[in-house]
Amino acid sequence: MKVAVGIILRDNSVFVALRNSKQDQGGLWEFPGGKCEASESVETALVRELKEECGISITGCDFFKTISHDYGDKLVELFFYKVTGFDGEPVGKEGQEVRWVAFSDLMSYGFPEANKQIVVELMTHY
């Protein structure tokens, strides 16, 4: 399963959302995004998901990296993008709790296993 994920950046912070307890990886924090639909490119999925989940329109993004992770019941291929330009102010459009978190504070948030390496990189490179 391909998943498009946006690391929304501003100053020294990143925008994170709390996954609903009923979802996979529920109760953990995530970078907004979601599954690519059949025949949809990853970038198209990224633009669509960030509009749906956060209400922003991406104006600038750079591919960062792909991480494949096997959760046992599910194999995910996460395509992480750094989102550096957007119109609108991100919110939790689906009622999810959201926060801007300073890189130096990211470690105190619980992320899905597949995100751990990315979180460490964000903390050390900024």
Q: Which does 31 bind (CB under 5 to 8 A by kind): ligand 8DG, Mg ion, none?
A: ligand 8DG
Contact pattern for ligand 8DG over residues 27 through 46, marking x by CB under 6 A: ---xxxxxx-----------
- By CB under 5 A, tell whether 55 contacts Mg ion: no
Q: Binders of ligand 8DG among 81-110, rule CB under 6 A?
A: none
Structure token digits, residue 76:
């995910």
- By CB under 5 A, tell whether 34 contacts Mg ion: yes
Distance CA 82, CA 66 (A): 12
Q: 3-38: string of b/e by CB count within 10 Å (b at 16+)?
A: bbbbbbbeeebbbbbbbeeeeebeebbbbbbbebee
Helix H or strand E segment including 18: strand 13-18
Chain residues binding ligand 8DG by CB under 6 A are: 3, 5, 23-25, 30-35, 49, 74, 76, 78, 112, 114-115
Chain residues binding Mg ion by CB under 5 A are: 34
